[in-house]
Structure 1
Amino acid sequence: MNLDQGGNSLDSQLLRKIKSKQAIVTVIGLGYVGLPLALRCLTCGFKVIGFDTDQNKIEKMKAGQSPIQDISDYQLQEVLKQNHFSLTTNGGDLKNADIFLVCVPTPLKENYEPDISFVKAAADIIFDCCKEDCFVALESSTYPGTTKQVFGNFNEYKKIFLAYSPERVDPGNEIYEVKNTPKVVGTDDPESYKIAKAFYQSIVDKVHIVTSTEVAEMSKLLENSFRSINIAFMNEMAEICEHLKIDIWNTIEAAATKPFGFMKFTPGVGVGGHCIPLDPMYLEWAAQQAGHSSEFLNLAHRVNKGQPQRIVNNVLEILTQVDKPIKTSRIVVYGMGYKGNSSDIRESKSLEIFNLLYLLGAKVDYIDENVKSIIACDGHSYEGITIQEVTSDCDLLIITNDCNQCDYQAIQSVDVLIYDVINLLKSKRKNVVIYGKKDSYQNCQNFQKESLSI
């Protein structure tokens, strides 16, 4: 069957609107996924309505203040001048929309069950205002079956075209953006297939169509579960190598010379952000609903979740070797976003390390140009410092992630003990202890002896 042939008058009418860029696009949820997607639609010639339930966010955006790092205030101000981008919190303003792109949060509950309440709320808004022949695409990460579960009954009341296309946004990535990141799209009927294909091909370079919405939903969970498992494996390998007194970093570089059958991952502080820590748990929950449980997913989750405590335990060992009690130590964490080049601290393992050290009685600061302030476990706000403020009263500098603004020379020049969790410096200096490289722990005594002799 050729899904590109034929069609009823409704899908033909919407196809003409898409191809002529007369279709009005509504993006529901203007965060790190929705806002870049909205601006991409504007760039491609569509009129766009941006909807969010956060009134304060909408007012700031109308004033030209971007809520996310990847879109600058200047970029937002420029698109607002064109008068093709309207912003609202009122569902009634969406009645003329032809296309709805749902980009809302899908968190986990405390018991690790998926919380799709934001998706259901978006569906209610769309149902109340959508026209008979509109196209709805869910982009939020979720478990297989969500698209049908939440939107499938629309067609009992009014005809819509439906798709699932998982977001693949990588905040802080200056190479891959909406335009050049391949888009997976899943639909469940021929008419929706044609609409979804036409629309996404009009805004991205490459579209990969799959056979159902469930396959598209599953593909996102597979991508991030793959990463979670491999990161957990490398964190476990780092622990094994430390006990065997083998350099994990040299080991990885050696293995990476194999031109086939090996993909390079490296140890670190664990996994953060919205996707990698959560998506495997969506998948595990879905498996349990089908009478199955994945030991593999659960094991990776436990390893990654426990990584901050392992790092803190290593910090305690380092401080013990230089005869410094944790309660009188000043420690600086270098990197606070859940990854380098990101202001996003959701599920940030660096923040967790900060809090664990604070609870042990240490005086803790952090450095990250992308994260201006944090709310720590005591409920107070703390602002970041600069590398120039790391003076001799600092007992330990912990490097937890990388960023484009890293001043390697300044870091290397500080006269303090450094614990390099990610081997950022690749240094053989006597003041650097490297995670996964047990013989570097001798640098604690070497640095202490040198300090005492000054």
Structure 2
Amino acid sequence: MKIAIIGLGYVGRSIAQAAVGAGHSVVGFDINSDVISSLKISKNFKATTDAALIGDAEVIVIAVPTPLDSARKPDLSAVHAACKTIIDHVKSPVLVINESTSYPGTLRNEIAAVIEKASGLGHLYASSPERVDPGNEKWTQKNTPRLLAGLTPEATKLARKFYSSFCDEIIEVSTPEVAEAAKLFENTFRQVNIALVNEFAQISDALDIPTREVLDAAATKPFGFMSFQPGPGVGGHCIPVDPSYLAHVAENVGVPAEFIKRANQVNLGMPSYVVSRVAKDVGSLKGKKVVVIGVSYKANVSDTRDAPAALVIDELKKLGAEVSWHDSVVDTWNGQSSSDLKGFDVAIVVTKHDAVSEAEIKASASYVFDCTGSIKGVAGL
């Protein structure tokens, strides 16, 4: 099959790799020329900034970012741009699949309705929200169950045929709205439970009880408990963002979504809490040399989107600290390069990559605060 993918971020690249591996011919379109130049081109894969090249595809996958705007409301501008690209360049009926995470009704109302109003070609439409976990070598496109639903039985059938070529398990749900809502709830579940354990970490510290020992003890229960660990906040595209998409659509139908709001508040407040814990231990941070270790949102992954390290650094600067950062997998960030790990008064470990040893971290500063629970004998959450 001839496949076109709009958006070549971590999701689009993953789909392209899987589709090419299954024998499909793939064109990947992205507006960012740097993204295109960074990709390896194979016999059956072409990456391009020329939208006209998607015109002869049989299946078009939308895999564009769906972030929050400055008011923390859904920003579907990239989805709308993808629709315009299809309207402008696709002149015969195709299957359009949306993998971009968004609120229920996005495929039906924001994609299909918009494209059909402009083109009237009678495209088929399906939703199959991405479940890519960057850096996870155990769960891949092949063995992660794939949710999907079309607006019509024909769309569902064709989407199943496409994904079955490289996915082991296909789970059809009744409507695209079910698939869209399931993706949001998966990550809202994690956001709420991470917030709960982060709030518990604050309670435990106030009670002078070791948080992680309590969590390990609770995890010995063989039923009715799922272990989550405290941290400096949440990062990446999914957990900091998806719950707000669910809250947005909930508020539109008159449901306040109080759990989601509180979870967002707790997790967004963790960088400030971490810095307050450090200040309680070392005193004034004014003029102190502080290094934040790990500016990506996840261990052994270079993705810095919404990483809590940025908020930790902001809080440190408010208190007058001289802040540097070190990250073994991030080359540059905000126009700066990673610092050497030596000569600091304070080190705050936000993300612990395997490439950085515990000994290096302990030698980097006279005081170390560990947000990850992976370094023995130092202060931390």
Alignment TM-score > 0.5, same fold: yes
Provide the rounded CA distance (Å) in 1 between the counterparts of 2:25 and 2:365.
Answer: 56
Unaligned runs of 5+ in 1: 1-22, 67-75, 376-380, 436-454
1:326 alignment counterpart: 285
1:168 alignment counterpart: 131
2:214 alignment counterpart: 251
Correspondent of 1:134 among 75, 94, 106: 94
Does structure 1 residue 183 correspond to structure 2 residue 146? yes
Give the C-alpha shift of residue 277 in structure 1: 0.8
CA pair 81-199 structure 1, distance change in 2 beyond 3 A = closer
The one-letter amino acid paired with 1:30 is L
Does structure 1 residue 89 correspond to structure 2 residue 52? no
SS of the residue 2:125 aligns to: strand
1:261 alignment counterpart: 224
What per-residue deviation string (whole Å, max 9, x for no partner) do you get for residues 260-292 of structure 1? 111100101011111111111111110111111
Provide the rounded CA distance (Å) in 1 between the counterparts of 2:175 and 2:198.
Answer: 35
User: Normalising by the residue count of structure 1, what TM-score does the alignment of the two structures yield?
Assistant: 0.80
CA pair 280-182 structure 1, distance change in 2 beyond 3 A = same
The one-letter amino acid paired with 1:348 is A
User: Normalising by the residue count of structure 2, what TM-score does the alignment of the two structures yield?
Assistant: 0.95
2:26 alignment counterpart: 48
CA contact (8 A) 1:97 1:131 kept: no
Correspondent of 2:380 among 430, 434, 438: 434
CA contact (8 A) 2:124 2:151 kept: no
- Alignment size in residue pairs: 378
Q: What is the root-mean-square deviation of aligned Cα atoms in Å?
A: 1.6
Provide the rounded CA distance (Å) in 1 between the counterparts of 2:358 and 2:194.
Answer: 25
Unaligned runs of 5+ in 2: none
Largest Rg, 1 or 2? 1
1:373 alignment counterpart: 332
1:354 alignment counterpart: 313
Does structure 1 residue 403 correspond to structure 2 residue 353? yes
The one-letter amino acid paired with 2:310 is L
Provide the rounded CA distance (Å) in 2 between the counterparts of 1:251 and 1:287.
Answer: 35
CA contact (8 A) 1:98 1:131 kept: no
Provide the rounded CA distance (Å) in 1 between the counterparts of 2:191 and 2:62.
Answer: 25
The one-letter amino acid paired with 1:399 is V
CA pair 142-246 structure 1, distance change in 2 beyond 3 A = same
CA contact (8 A) 2:347 2:361 kept: no
SS of the residue 2:286 aligns to: helix
Provide the rounded CA distance (Å) in 1 between the counterparts of 2:359 and 2:157.
Answer: 54
Instruction: Give the alignment of 1:284-363 within 5 angstroms.
Output: 284-320=247-283, 325-363=284-322
1:238 alignment counterpart: 201
SS of the residue 1:174 aligns to: coil
Provide the rounded CA distance (Å) in 2 between the counterparts of 1:403 and 1:55.
Answer: 29
- Counting aligned pairs with the same residue, the percent is 37
SS of the residue 2:199 aligns to: helix
The one-letter amino acid paired with 2:24 is F
